[in-house]
Amino acid sequence: MYWTFHMHGGPRRVNHAAVAIDSSIFTFGGYCSGADYKNFKPIDIHVLDTIKLKWWKLELQDHECENTPFQRYGHTAVAYNNNVFLWGGRNDKETCNTLYCFDTHVLKWSIPVTFGNKPVPRDGHSACIINYCMYIYGGFQESQFSQDLCMFDFRSMTWHKIRTEGTPPSLRDFHTATAIDNKMYVFGGRGDVHAPRITDREVYCSEIYYFDTTTHTWIRPNVYSNKPPGRRSHSAFYHNGFLYIFGGFNRNMNLHFQDINRYDPTSSTWMTITPKGVSPCARRRQICLVIENRVFISGGTSPIPPKPPIPLRQMDYDLTEQLFNQLKDHDDLHILDLNPSLKDMCLVKVWEKLEEEEINFDDLDIPKTLKNDLAAVDPFEVIDTGVVDSSSPSYEIHFPPLPLPEQLVDLPPNPFE
93 or 388, which is more confident?
93
Instruction: Give yes or no for a contact between 168 and 149, defined as CB atoms under 8 angstroms apart.
Output: yes
Mean pLDDT for 62-90 is: 91
For residue 10, count other CB atoms closer than 10 A to its CB.
23
Tell which phi-psi region holds residue 53, choosing left (phi > 0), alpha (psi between -120 and 50) or beta.
Answer: left
* Least confident segment among 121-135, 263-277, 303-317: 303-317
State how beta strands 301-303 and 183-187 pair: unpaired
Query: Cα–Cα distance between 181 and 266 in angstroms, integer?
Result: 12
Q: Decide which of 332 and 372 is more confident.
A: 332
In this predicted structure, the answer to whether residue 403 has a pLDDT above a threshold of 60 is no
CA distance 128 to 126: 7
Q: Given the DSSP bridges, would you call strands 294-298 and 333-337 parallel, antiparallel or unpaired?
A: antiparallel
Of the candidates 287, 289, 285, the one whose C-alpha atom is nearest the C-alpha of residue 301 is 285
Q: What is the pLDDT of residues 7-39, one digit of tens each?
A: 888 999 999 999 999 999 999 999 887 777 888
Least confident of 74-83, 92-101, 308-317: 308-317
Q: What percent of the chain has pLDDT over 90?
A: 64
Q: What is the DSSP letter of 188?
A: -
What pLDDT does residue 361 have?
76
The letter for the amino acid at 47 is V
Which of the four pLDDT bands, split at 50, 70 and 90, describes residue 319?
very low
**How buried is 389 (Cβ within 10 angstroms: 0-12 exposed, 13-18 middle, 19+ buried)?**
exposed
Beta-bridged to residue 398, according to DSSP, are none
Interval 144-162 mean pLDDT? 96
Residue 259 pLDDT exceeds 80: yes
Per residue in 179-212, pLDDT (tens digit) is 999 999 999 999 999 999 988 899 999 999 999 9
For 312-376, give the DSSP string: GGGS-HHHHHHHHT-EEE---EEEEESS--HHHHHHHHHHHHHHHHT--GGG--S-HHHHHHHHT
Q: Dihedral of the CA atoms 307, 310, 315, 317 (nearest 10)?
A: -10
So what's the pLDDT on residue 271? 97
Confidence of residue 380 (pLDDT cuts 50, 70, 90): low
Distance CA 124, CA 399 (A): 35
pLDDT of amino acid 311: 52
> How confident is the model at residue 77, as a pLDDT?
98
- pLDDT for the residue 308: 53
CA distance 10 to 12: 6
Tell me how far apart the alpha carbons of residues 187 and 206 are, in angstroms, rounded to a whole number. 7
Q: Considering just the CA atoms, what is the radius of gyration of the chain in Å?
A: 22
Segments making up each domain of the chain, as ranges: 2-112+222-410
Higher pLDDT, 332 or 347: 332
pLDDT score, position 175: 98
149: phi > 0 → left, psi -120 to 50 → alpha, else beta; which?
Answer: beta
Backbone angles phi, psi at 400, to 5 degrees: -55, 140
Please check whether residue 78 is in contact with residue 134, taking contact to mean a CB–CB distance below 8 angstroms: yes
pLDDT at 225 over 50: yes
Cis before 196? omega within 30:
yes
Mean per-residue pLDDT, 154-164: 96
- The residue among 303, 306, 292, 243 whose CA lies nearest residue 14 is 303
pLDDT(136) > 80: yes
Give every strand in the sheet of 2-7, ordered side by side. Answer: 2-7, 333-337, 294-298, 287-291
